A = this chain, B = another copy of it.
Amino acid sequence: MTIKKHNIEKDIAAIVVPEPDAEGLTTLLEGVDATGAPAVLPVVTERPLTIYLNRQEIVTTMTVGDQPQEMAVGFLFNQNMLLSADDISAIDYDDELGVVVVRTAHETDFEDKLQKKIRTSGCAQGTLYGDIMTRFDAVKLPAEGRISTRQIIQLSKTVNMMPSLYLKAGAIHACVLCSGAEPLIYCEDIGRHNAADKVAGYMLLSEISGHDKVFYTTGRLTSEMVIKTVLMDIPILISRSGFTEAGVRLARQAGLTLIGRARGSRFIALAGAERIEFDAPEPDMLDDEEQMSAQRKLYGAKR
């Protein structure tokens, strides 16, 4: 496979959107509902994908299965095993085996490090944490990023109303790279970290900078999500879900704007509120329960 280089910055419209009807992402399964009547439900796929860096097996993760190349590249970048797209010479993917191999022109010192850590520890992922934190500590997020209350409300609404695997089948998380309230790269996966890695992979392969963007996730604002966002150089992170204490602490340390519980016209910011412009929300903005009810009517989703 040759490496795709998108030219995203030139288009304003979203260039990666969910394709909920793509083959292989959902299966119709039969069961019964609470009355005992037959029910048929679209259910998301969950399959193992093993990521290699050159000849080194790195991790096996459960994924919905789309965008394996981008996910592998984003994962290796967010794990500090790849520093830029320039290192990549090829990405090979075998759908049948569920294996993706990211190849670099020269073997990286990360493979050496990895081998050493694997020999001394049960799980390389935990012990590479120190390296990631060294890079995390070095990131200086740009001070000038801005977002307004209206944009936050509009963005949540746009993400929630776009056709997606979530609206079709549920049981999935979304991560969306945005320019203001405009979605650019919208990825979904059963693991919220996989969805974030897919976005990171697209950004790296297409040379999209994060410094003037906004990151939206449906998942909780944990330390890992904050670390990934900061490593992607994105100054603003928004979620409809809640916070953990470590997530907030790391966001404050890095100067990341951290906005949680963003539903309808409400949200809470626990870090970096200086980037928020508090313009009054438009009076006709739906509140979250109205919005959910409107969604149900639109899509007939039973959730």
Contact = CB atoms under 8 A, between A and B. Distances in A.
Q: How many copies does the complex hold?
A: 2
Given A29-B243, A244-B190, A247-B46, A122 B58 contact: yes
Nearest to A61: B126
A242 B123 contact: no
Nearest to A121: B57
Nearest to A171: B242
A47 B224 CA distance: 11
Q: Is the interface of A mostly helix, strand, loop or mixed?
A: mixed
A224 B190 CA distance: 12
Contacts of A224: 62
Given A29-B248, A46-B222, A190-B244, A34 B121 contact: no
Interface residues of A, number: 71
A31 interface: yes
A245 B126 CA distance: 29
A149 interface: yes
Nearest to A35: B278
